[in-house]
């Protein structure tokens, strides 16, 4: 079985694939100092709940945007699963043409692969996490760059911390789809929610105008579901882009070794 680890700045996902389908997925808060021993105590309990043990895992693939964590995740694989992991950006062959001057973040490249497997290009892939990214996938599946902006949760946190009288609130669609808030909370909800909808609509429009071609827009990430039904700029909501991309990268590397 394959253990796929996808680590973002906020959350880390662990997913198990049995060769046919994903049989389990778990998330934990990302902590860059968490050791391999700490990971395994947590993970062993979750594996046992699925009736699985360490011996069931015979392959590991890691995608992380937190460089200081990769050492501990690699140790987890080596020490407890006796497996040398595939690490995106290190020893994993992505099998994708990257047409930018410097390699991009691991998660963005993995998402590009996951999107190109399902959707005909060219594509705009929007990933809503700690940052909100807009990435371009060419018709032939190549990664051609993108845009990085602050994520919606980060913006809300900054608003609360920088303004003494503004409370910490839940991010949600304003009641009745109102634009103009009638109190502090509804005004903040509208500013963040509709502000991000406008960000998405504006950048998608500008990307399409700059490239001069029809493009399919796919949204993924932890808060992408908040925007479903709120804008026509997004064609598909797909929460499985990253794990689909990781599985494909694993298969490409496995085939190349045989």
pLDDT in tens, 54-64: 888 999 999 99
Give me the mean pLDDT over the 105-120 stretch.
Answer: 91
Give me the mean pLDDT over the 90-114 stretch.
Answer: 85
Q: Which residue is catalytic, options 107, 127, 135, 238?
A: 107
Q: Which of the four pLDDT bands, split at 50, 70 and 90, describes residue 127?
A: very high
Q: Residue ranges of the domains in the chain?
A: 2-92, 106-244
Predicted pLDDT at 161: 81
Catalytic annotation present for 107:
yes
On the question of a common fold for 2-92 and 106-244, the answer reads yes
pTM over 0.85: yes
Q: Domain 106-244 belongs to what topology?
A: Nucleotidyltransferase; domain 5 (3.30.420)
Report domain 2-92's class. Answer: alpha beta
Predicted pLDDT at 36: 94
pLDDT tens for each residue of 202-239: 999 999 999 999 999 999 987 888 888 899 999 999 98
SS (H, E, C) the chain: CEEEEEECCCEEEEEEECCCCEEEEEEEECCCCCCHHHHHHHHHHHHHHCCCCHHHCCEEEEEECCHHHHHHHHHHHHHHHCCCCEECCCCCCCCCCECCCCCCCHHHHHHHHHHHCCCCCCEEEEEECCEEEEEEECCCCCEEEEEEEECHHHHHHHHHHHCCCCCCCCCCCCHHHCCCCCCHHHHHHHHHHHHHHHHHHHHHHHHHHHHCCCCEEEEECCCHHHHCCCCCCCCEECCCHHHHHHHHHHHHHHHHHC
């Amino acid at each position: 079985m394959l253990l796929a680890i996808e680590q973002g700045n906020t959350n880390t996902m662990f997913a198990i694939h049995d060769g046919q389908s994903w049989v389990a997925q778990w998330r934990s808060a990302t902590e860059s100092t968490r050791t391999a021993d700490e990971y395994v105590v947590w993970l062993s309990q979750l594996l046992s709940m699925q009736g699985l043990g360490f011996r069931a895992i015979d392959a590991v693939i890691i995608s992380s945007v937190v460089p200081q964590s990769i050492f501990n995740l690699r140790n987890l694989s080596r020490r407890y699963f006796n497996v040398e992991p595939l690490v995106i950006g290190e020893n994993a062959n992505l099998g994708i043409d990257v047409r930018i001057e410097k390699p991009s973040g691991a998660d963005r490249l993995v998402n590009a692969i996951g999107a190109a497997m399902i959707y005909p290009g060219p594509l705009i892939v929007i990933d809503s996490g700690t940052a909100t990214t807009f990435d371009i996938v060419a018709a032939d599946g190549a990664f051609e760059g993108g845009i990085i902006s602050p994520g919606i949760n980060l913006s809300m946190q900054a608003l609360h911390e920088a303004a003494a009288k503004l409370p910490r609130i839940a991010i949600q669609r304003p009641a009745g789809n109102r634009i103009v808030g009638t109190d502090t909370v509804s005004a903040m909800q509208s500013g963040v929610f509709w502000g991000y909808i406008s960000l998405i609509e504006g950048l998608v429009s500008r990307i399409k105008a700059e490239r001069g071609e029809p493009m399919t827009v796919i949204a993924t990430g932890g808060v992408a579901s908040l925007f479903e039904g709120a804008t026509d700029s997004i064609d598909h909501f797909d929460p499985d882009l990253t794990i689909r991309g990781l599985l494909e990268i694993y298969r490409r590397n496995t085939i190349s070794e045989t």
